[in-house]
């Protein structure tokens, strides 16, 4: 009963406001006609922009969902790779498909094909997808024991200080490259930096484990 009364009060208030607005325009319709037309045009423009944004977000969400769905099906049905390759492209979200293709080849031990996929991602825009690809190229270099090449890639990412990518992951991968290269001091210093600066993250925790291991071996 109380809800119905509140609802009725709100409806009455709304009707009252609308009524006052209508009466105002009836009284001042001559002086307000031009202004009303301008306001209406602005309102229509805002509505149009919001509608287009909503449609764009919906389309982008659909693209990413399709790409991830195809990637998840690859392990069971490798023939889906052709479909994923068709969906991947130079668009802001389509290019994420190349990351998924590259990770598929990494999981299957084909580093050459993985690298080929990651290198298809252009330098602009420098967004999450771009830095994911670069980070993965650095990891491929580590797997190939090209530690200097890997460090160079990770340094470039660190220099950019990307807002769209987790820098702790990049620093951890760089520390691993230094450790495998034999630069224990450099690796330990970087692991300690991660331990202090990113203590609440996954890579910060792993870095603390690395610190204990390296210090115990000294």
Contacting residues for 95 by C-beta, under 8 A, at least 6 apart: 88, 89, 120, 121, 122, 129
Domain ranges in the chain are: 1-87, 123-218
CA atoms within 13 A on the CB side of 214: 22
Percentage of the chain exceeding pLDDT 70:
72
CA distance 27 to 10: 26
Amino acid 32: pLDDT: 42
Question: For the segment 126-156, what is each residue's pLDDT rounded down to a tens digit?
Answer: 999 999 999 999 999 999 999 999 999 999 9
Is the pLDDT confidence value at 199 over 50?
Answer: yes
Confidence label for 19 from pLDDT (cuts 50, 70 and 90): very low
Mean predicted lDDT score pLDDT of the chain: 80
Confidence label for 171 from pLDDT (cuts 50, 70 and 90): very high
Is the pLDDT confidence value at 124 over 80?
Answer: yes
Amino acid 92: pLDDT: 85
Amino acid 18: pLDDT: 40
| Residue 94 burial (10 A CB sphere; 0-12, 13-18, 19+) | middle
Confidence label for 177 from pLDDT (cuts 50, 70 and 90): very high
CA distance 14 to 142: 66
Specify the higher pLDDT residue, 51 or 91: 91
Question: For the segment 33-49, what is each residue's pLDDT rounded down to a tens digit?
Answer: 444 444 444 444 444 44
The CATH number of 123-218 is 1.25.40.10
Is the pLDDT confidence value at 198 over 90?
Answer: yes
């Amino acid at each position: 009963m109380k809800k119905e009364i509140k609802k009725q009060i709100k409806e009455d208030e709304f009707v009252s406001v609308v009524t006052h607005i209508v009466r105002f325009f009836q009284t001042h319709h001559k002086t307000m006609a031009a202004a009303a037309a301008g306001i209406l045009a602005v309102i229509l423009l805002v509505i149009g922009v919001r509608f287009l944004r909503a449609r764009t977000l919906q389309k982008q969400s659909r693209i990413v969902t399709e790409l991830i769905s195809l990637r998840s099906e690859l392990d069971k049905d490798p023939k889906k790779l052709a479909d994923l390759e068709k969906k991947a492209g130079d668009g802001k979200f389509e290019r994420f498909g190349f990351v998924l293709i590259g990770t598929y080849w990494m999981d299957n031990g084909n580093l050459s094909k993985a690298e080929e996929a990651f290198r298809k991602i252009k330098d602009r825009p420098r967004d999450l997808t771009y830095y994911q690809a670069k980070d993965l190229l650095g990891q491929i270099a580590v797997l190939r024991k090209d530690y200097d090449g890997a460090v160079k890639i990770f340094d470039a990412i660190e220099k950019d200080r990307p807002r769209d990518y987790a820098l702790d992951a990049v620093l951890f991968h760089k520390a691993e490259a230094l450790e495998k290269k034999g630069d224990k001091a450099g690796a330990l210093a970087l692991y300690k930096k991660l331990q202090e600066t990113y203590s609440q993250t996954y890579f910060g925790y792993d870095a603390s484990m690395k610190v204990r291991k390296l210090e115990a071996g000294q």
